[in-house]
Structure 1
Amino acid sequence: MAAFGRLVVLLLIAAVGLQLYFLCRIALMTVVDPQSTTFQRSEAWRLLVQTQRLPWRQQWVASERISNQLKRAVIASEDAGFVEHSGVEWDALEKAWERNQLAQARADRQNERLERQAANAKSAAAPATAPRKVAPKVVGGSTITQQLAKNLFLSPERSFVRKGQEFAITFMLESVLGKRRILEIYLNNVEWGEGLFGAEAAAQHYFRVPAAQLGGLQAARLAVMLPAPKRFEKRVNSPYMNARASTIAARMGAVELP
């Protein structure tokens, strides 16, 4: 029993030490611009392994050199309540959880139907292939601060422990850095395509202009890409992209900047 108690104490000390490590890293970001994130390093490794090369574009620019249009577009698209919330939008998380539960239930029903069809084909002596599983379409309710917390320090795995750590880092970011710095770090490190990170690299790549000169519709088009940049970079002029960008552009005027 004493050994178990010591183990619990050691685990608690390790947990507290980990939080202090994250807090110190975040405090350093008040004066030092983070040059990479955990997500970026994992992407760099993936590209090296898969392609044996590292196509990479990223250039840090200060907040003043990022168009206010882009800031408004990203907030309108990703986190409309950014300036008001304390890091987490609980209502958005609840709605996302409910939608994901419904999506999982639909996927389960579809997979059951496919399995029955495959079984019927097998019993009829017809050549049958294993049915391909239908994956649920998962949506997120994460704020900009939560996305930054995950990208800076955490892995992409989905678990309650990782989500709890994301919440802890999110509140640290909000308490130590403030909204303006959070948005600056986010816009300089977020992914906008394969090996393409940050507002400056994205503006130069897609529109041949610096981030400071992005116009409203250009900014809206970049904001549309954020949920799935690798997918959208291959169809930047799709009907969905055009329609969604117009919707975001119409919302940008009501966005308050930090």
Structure 2
Amino acid sequence: MKLLRYGPPGAEKPGLLDGEGGLRDLSAEVADIAGEALTPAGIARLRALDPRALPRVEGNPRLGPCVTGVGKFMAIGLNYADHAAEAGMAPPAEPVLFSKYPSAMCGPNDEVIIPRGSVKTDWEVELGVVIGRPGRHIPESDALAHVAGYCVVNDVSERSLQLEGTGQWVKGKSCDTFAPTGPWLVTADEVPDPQNLRLWLEVDGHRYQDGSTATMIFGVARLISYLSGLFTLHPGDIISTGTPPGVGMGVKPAPVYLRPGQVMRLGVEGLGEQRLRTVAEP
């Protein structure tokens, strides 16, 4: 099942894709793709619906972030050994955790705003994991049962804010529009192995990233178990699981960063694609 949110920013409605790829409205069935709707009971109730009986949404409306009401947007740094190498850093002994503020979230085809004065805005295609069943101290063997579904995340990053000066990752990762999420949430039952997904990213038609979740240092189950040992995970919490090599910062002989007017296309196998145009902050 593919769950989504459509409509103008701040006024999105819940929806799903039917078997023919048509958009169906869920407004009469659920308040939004958030909270209770993402629990096992909530997902089961939505799965029991006949999509053909739901109102069809005509046209081509804007898609918003595929989930909302996100309490924690957690992200994992240096989770692919070859990406750590291109960043000049040793593979970590345990997951490197940072946060992206939920206010950075935007839709999968929205404009990405390059902050004023930025000359080092970068891209990172990632597998996003959305929690459905709450938990604390979750055993790794049971961790995937806590997943509502998976989605595409672009962990847009401003490298000078992230790594220079005071060097705080959260401020380099949380600018407005720095977390395009979606196009939809694919429920966990349709992703039998999250460690066997291809992910890729292009800028203006040039492919920079082309990797597989099979090369993660810490897999999805390990990340869920590790994070739940630090704090309770709640329905709607997002884990962005790290990026494969090919980010702009690592391009040789010189880094390549985003400029206004460029187009990023990216995707994760089975989870859809994003198409994002970069614009300068006014």
The answer to whether the superposition gives a TM-score over 0.5 is no
Say which structure is richer in helix.
1
- Max radius of gyration: which structure? 1
Q: TM-score, normalised by structure 1?
A: 0.25
Structure with the larger RCO, 1 or 2 (CA within 8 Å, 6+ apart): 1
Q: TM-score, normalised by structure 2?
A: 0.23
